[in-house]
Chains A and B, each alone.
Chain A
Amino acid sequence: MHIDLNSCFATVEQQANPLLRGIPIAVAAYAGLSGCVISPSIEAKKFGIKVGMRVKEAKYLLEDLIILPPDPPKYRAIHKLFRELFKTYSPYVVPKSIDEAVIDFTNTIAIKRGLYVVAKEIKTRMKQEIGEWISCSIGISTNRFLAKTAASLHKPDGLDIITHKNLIAVYKNLQLTDLNGINRRFEARLMANGIRTPIDFLNATAEMLKKEVFKSICGYDWYARLRGFEVDDVSFERKSFGQSYALHKFTDEIEELSRILMKLCEKMGRRLRKALFYAYGIHISCSYIDGTFWHKAEKSQTKLYTTLEFFQKARTLLKKQPEKKKITHLAVSCYDLNLISTFQLELFDQKRKKAWNTTSAVDHINNRYGEFTIIPALIMRMDDEVIDRVTFGNVQELYE
């Protein structure tokens, strides 16, 4: 069963503030005209307002649109309530993002009641136990891919089942890019091999998909996936930590970028240390005002743990940009992770030992009194930048 909250952030805001119910609102990353809409309400969508639109464009479509800033603690609280509700039906609940989850009912008592009945009950309980304005679309099928496809068939407040009996009929009404995992690039690849519709995709042989279209085992996975076999029940261990920021004011000034980089490194470092890792690799990426993109990675000879260590490496990389252009989006990540328990600081490296212990003490204080209680001097007066955001993807850290 795939459950997708309808217009999650906007709906949660309308749940919290009854005066906003039934009227077009949108949650935007920033309330200014250049801010990006991240969640239009169901009412706003009727006016053509979409995720990713600039506030300026959205206001052009609907002048009276109410724009709200995001409130991540509220969305995380709602997400945890949903997860607790879903877990009353099955222990196998996989959050796919802040507003989507998959429930596997294999070997559960709930499956004996019929999943359509269970889905109806989940919808009712969400309204009764979490909020009367909250709605979701639910899809049921034999694998995650088809369950998600079913959940997307009718929005908002849909409930659809895909079985072998209606599979062909469902595929007939979809385009290739309606299939989860098929973007424009994959669509082009499929079309280049004569596959123009989901029905063509379904009719293609496993051999052809494997050898000619995807040129890898992915082809066989798609063959199985389209038919309702589960191939996506795979969990991946953590490989990196990262932070990114879409700049308010685009700049190419290294001093200003350094401040942002420091704050990103501080946030990234805290998450890494909380999970008890250190890293060897550092990676930065920049999106520029002219639409181009640059990135660079480097593996360090020494272990990276403190914010300063990450910052120094990241800034060195940043200075290696081939051209000085105004940056619109900056991201830093660390990779090649190792658990803290697997090593000891070199015996005579007292300076580093002191730095690491200081970092741990600062983390401890920030955990006790609130994030950014103690901060690097470089990021003073940056309260409004690189602020708390909800990730669009993995929410695993909510449970770590």
Chain B
Amino acid sequence: MISVKEHISVIVIFNEKTKMIMPRTIKWKERNYTITKIGFHYKEQRGRVLFHIFSVASSTVYMKVSLDTESLRWKLEELYDTAY
């Protein structure tokens, strides 16, 4: 597991029928990662700011990403790549 803590670009799907929100594509260091599964989603209060934390995975890479609900910026918190 690698701690990253860098801001990223994310394409997110909001599904009104299933009431689910899912990061679908994550762009980090000029590479696009297609997310196929959400492992867990929870909220965390850091000071006065509420963060949404998503643990997501593609077929080979796991990422923990956070959404700052005040700035609406996404951050890659940590990464686990089965290739390493």
Binding site for B on A (CB under 8 A): 12, 15-20, 68-69, 73-74, 77-78, 131, 366-371, 373
Contact = CB atoms under 8 A, between A and B. Distances in A.
A16 B55 contact: yes
A18 B39 CA distance: 6
B79 to A, nearest CB: 10
Contacts of A12: 40
B80 A19 contact: yes
B1 A19 contact: no
Contacts of A68: 1
Contacts of B80: 17, 19-20
A17 B47 contact: no
A131 B47 contact: no
A17 B78 CA distance: 11
Interface string B33-60: 0000101101110111000010101001
Nearest to B42: A77
Nearest to A19: B62
Contacts of A78: 40, 42
B71 interface: no
B53 A19 contact: no
Contacts of B60: 19
B64 A16 contact: yes
B47 A74 contact: no
A369 B47 contact: yes
A77 B43 contact: yes
B37 A368 contact: no
A20 B39 CA distance: 11
11 contacts: A15-B40, A16-B40, A20-B62, A20-B80, A68-B1, A73-B42, A74-B40, A131-B39, A366-B47, A368-B47, A369-B47
A197 B39 CA distance: 45
A378 B82 CA distance: 41
Given A77-B42, A368-B48, 13 more contacts: A12-B40, A15-B39, A16-B39, A17-B80, A19-B57, A19-B61, A19-B80, A73-B42, A74-B55, A77-B40, A78-B40, A78-B42, A367-B47
Interface residues of B, number: 19
A117 B80 CA distance: 39
Contact of A17 (B42, B48, B53, B57): B57
Nearest to B48: A368
Contacts of B61: 19
Contacts of A20: 62, 80
A131 B82 contact: no
Contacts of B47: 366-371, 373
Closest 7 CB pairs of A and B: A77-B42, A16-B55, A370-B47, A369-B47, A16-B39, A16-B40, A17-B62
Contacts of B44: 73, 77
Contacts of A74: 40, 42, 53, 55
Contacts of A371: 47
A77 B43 CA distance: 7
B25 to A, nearest CB: 18
Contacts of B55: 16-17, 74
B11 to A, nearest CB: 20
A366 B1 CA distance: 29
B18 to A, nearest CB: 13
Contact of B39 (A17, A77, A368, A373): A17
A94 B61 CA distance: 38
A369 B48 contact: yes
A227 B40 CA distance: 42
B70 to A, nearest CB: 11
A321 B53 CA distance: 45
A19 B40 CA distance: 13
B67 to A, nearest CB: 14
A19 B60 CA distance: 7
A181 B71 CA distance: 50
Nearest to B51: A73
A74 B42 CA distance: 7
B37 A18 contact: yes
A74 B43 CA distance: 9
Nearest to B44: A73
